[in-house]
Amino acid sequence: MSESLSQTFLAITRNEADLQWLQGALAPLGQVVGAGSGSLDQLLALIDVTFANLIFVGLDRDQVVNQCALIEGVLEAKPMLAIVALGDGMDNQLVLNAMRAGARDFVAYGSRSSEVAGLVRRLSKRLPQVASNPSLGGLTVLYGTQCAADGALLTTHLARVVQVSGQQTLLLDLGLPRGDSLALLGLEASFHFGDALRHLRRLDNTLIDSAFTREQSGLRLLAYAEGDEPLERTSAAELYMLLSALRQHFQHIVVNLTGQTDCEALRTFVSHCDKLIWYTDQNVLDCRRNLDVLTLWREKGMKLEHASLLVDRYLKGVAPDSDALAKRFELPLLMVLPYSPEVRLNSKNQGLPLFELAPRENLTQQLKALGERLARRSEHNKPSGGNWLNRLWGHK
């Protein structure tokens, strides 16, 4: 989990608009993850995964009995949690039912952000501190708004360097266009990202060894299939579960998200990762699109201290230069990668890594150096393996 994110909250709300209101109100304090329909088993598993100690549960007249039973069930299993009920502030019966079920407080839908944030701050001071799981593997995200094969090209090379360093590594390729990492490596897959979401309860070492595509270095790949749901339709709760499960099995996960549009699932990746590499080049039009997303996230209070800027296809003497871009993005400059069009094209067309085609090229050496930096961040992480999600759900 990114240390820049102070807290994770779970919420069961009436609709997406209510969830977005709550996310906006609490953005300066952490991430609010929608907990779906409110299944007790799923909610308890999410609590274990996210280390959340404060849960929001929406109440309404038609479902109040089941909703209060959910509050009681959660508190019976996790008595140290704080639950805040959401609902119509003018409905005194809802407030009374929430308090009887064990809710610490009640917030009316549409309350001012400052009131909600103030309540959470006060409750958090009285709650026990929850530390994140030290056994979770490293998670690096490459994100930029450009749709191009270069995002897959870079992440395949970075992930391979981490794998060769001796760490069990996964490349999660959710960039657009879909599946470029598989094509670049000349691989085929029968198990994809959508399959992993559908088989969350079975995600163990046996499934990973038998189903995840494997590159000759030992690197595992999990990519989009053409029929998979787009990222914006992916449940943030399921995504959180998947990422946490995968981080139990891999020392390092490198994620390609280039080309994706802004959505809750994308923000979950950004909040969940240890290192966010913001990917751009010197094209002013692409820079503007990147800055639009970056500015929006900052306005919403997202914490981006773990982000740095990677300038790709860099040409010296062409404006804007790397220093100007870093200043404009207000991000530390991580690295510039040379244009090197010929070696890039050869690697894409021949399905061979730069390490074999052009080991002495500056681009190859820069990618190797960056991959080694990522590897050092996670060299002490030890994946626990085992059928971890099943244990969370209470299965043997």
For 177-211, the pLDDT digits (tens) are 999 999 999 999 999 999 999 998 889 999 999 99
Task: Select 7-126's CATH number: 3.30.420.40, 3.30.70.1140, 3.40.50.620, 3.40.50.2300.
Answer: 3.40.50.2300
Share of residues in the chain with pLDDT > 90 (%) = 76
What is the C-alpha separation between 384 and 136, in angstroms, rounded?
8
Inter-residue contact 375 to 167 (CB < 8 Å): yes
How much is the pLDDT for 84?
97
294-333: per-residue pLDDT in tens? 999 999 888 899 999 999 999 999 999 999 999 999 999 9
Query: Cis link prior to 320 (omega < 30° from 0)?
Result: yes
**To the nearest whole number, what is the mean pLDDT of the chain?**
91
CB burial of residue 168 (10 Å; 0-12, 13-18, 19+): buried
| Residues forming CATH 3.40.50.300 domain(s) in the chain | 138-378
220-275: per-residue pLDDT in tens? 999 999 999 999 999 888 898 999 899 999 999 999 999 999 998 999 999 889 99
Q: Is the dihedral of CA 302, 308, 313, 318 positive or negative?
A: positive
- Length of the chain equals 396
67-93: per-residue pLDDT in tens? 999 999 999 999 999 999 999 988 899
Inter-residue contact 179 to 373 (CB < 8 Å): no
| Residues forming CATH 3.40.50.2300 domain(s) in the chain | 7-126
Inter-residue contact 258 to 175 (CB < 8 Å): yes
- As given in the structure block, the two tokens for residue 212 are 């995840």
CATH 3.40.605.10 for domain 138-378, yes or no, is no
**pLDDT higher than threshold 50 for residue 396:** no
